[in-house]
Structures are given as structure tokens and as C-alpha cells.
């Protein structure tokens, strides 16, 4: 049953590769290898924040990003913490907290 499912999904990926996110493809690969799939590389909020920072390379506060994206500053702060821990963004100041995109963040292709 599992093998049939994997084959079906692989056929769909071959026919319509643009429909599948990087996270979906990573999950499929883990399923094929019999491994437990890891957490997604980046949440949708993380993608939105990183995309904003890629377009606006200047240093920013969570509140500024929040205002521009129209999502709560708490949501942005959570996404920024994860982006910092994953090396896409770094915190350059503590008072006020200022974030700047790293080279890894600038070069990350968002699906």
C-alpha cells in the first residue's frame, strides 16, 4: 500500500512538478527512505517574513515588518526567532531589536 502511494505521488510530481513545494518533496523522499519526515524547512510566516526581507534588504524591527505585511508583531517575532536560529536572519541590536538578512537568507529560494 505504501509503495503504491509513493509511486502515485512520484508520477504526479513528474507530471506537475510546480505543484509540489520543497517541503512536500522532502517529505516524499523521507517516506521513500523509510525515515521519519523532519519538520518543514520554513513555515509560511517564515517565508513571508524572509521574502519581505529579501525585497527590503535594510535592517528592520519586527514591528516594521509586521506593519508592512499586515500580520501581528507576535507572529513576525516568532518567525524571526526561527529564521535567526536557522541562519537566514541575524539580530544586530537588542534595544531596539534590529534584524538583518544574512547571505544565506538573501540566496534562499522561496517556493
Comparing 58 with 6, the larger pLDDT belongs to 58
Q: What is the pLDDT of residues 22-81, one digit of tens each?
A: 777 777 887 888 776 555 678 899 999 999 999 998 999 999 999 999 999 999 999 999
For residues 17 and 69, membership in a common domain is answered with no
Distance CA 41, CA 104 (A): 13
Look at residue 42 in the predicted model and tell me its pLDDT.
83
Number of domains, the chain: 2
For residues 26 and 55, membership in a common domain is answered with no
Nearest of 104, 111, 63 to residue 86 by alpha carbon: 104
pTM: 0.65
Establish if 39 belongs to a structural domain.
Answer: no
> Please, which residues bridge with residue 100 across strands?
90
Look at residue 36 in the predicted model and tell me its pLDDT.
66
* Tally of helices (H runs) and strands (E runs) in the chain: 6, 2
> Residue 18: which domain range?
2-32
For residues 28 and 53, membership in a common domain is answered with no
For residues 55 and 92, membership in a common domain is answered with yes
Establish if 53 belongs to a structural domain.
Answer: yes
Amino acid at each position: 500500500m505504501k509503495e503504491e502511494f509513493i509511486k502515485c505521488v512520484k508520477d504526479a510530481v513528474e507530471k506537475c512538478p510546480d505543484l509540489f513545494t520543497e517541503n512536500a518533496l522532502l517529505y516524499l523522499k523521507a517516506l521513500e527512505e523509510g525515515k521519519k519526515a523532519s519538520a518543514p524547512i520554513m513555515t509560511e510566516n517564515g517565508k513571508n517574513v524572509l521574502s519581505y526581507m529579501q525585497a527590503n534588504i535594510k535592517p528592520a524591527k519586527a514591528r516594521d515588518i509586521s506593519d508592512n505585511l499586515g500580520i501581528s508583531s507576535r507572529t513576525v517575532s516568532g518567525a524571526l526567532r526561527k529564521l535567526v536560529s536557522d541562519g537566514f536572519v541575524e539580530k544586530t541590536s537588542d534595544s531596539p531589536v534590529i534584524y538583518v538578512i544574512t547571505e544565506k537568507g538573501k540566496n534562499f529560494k522561496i517556493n
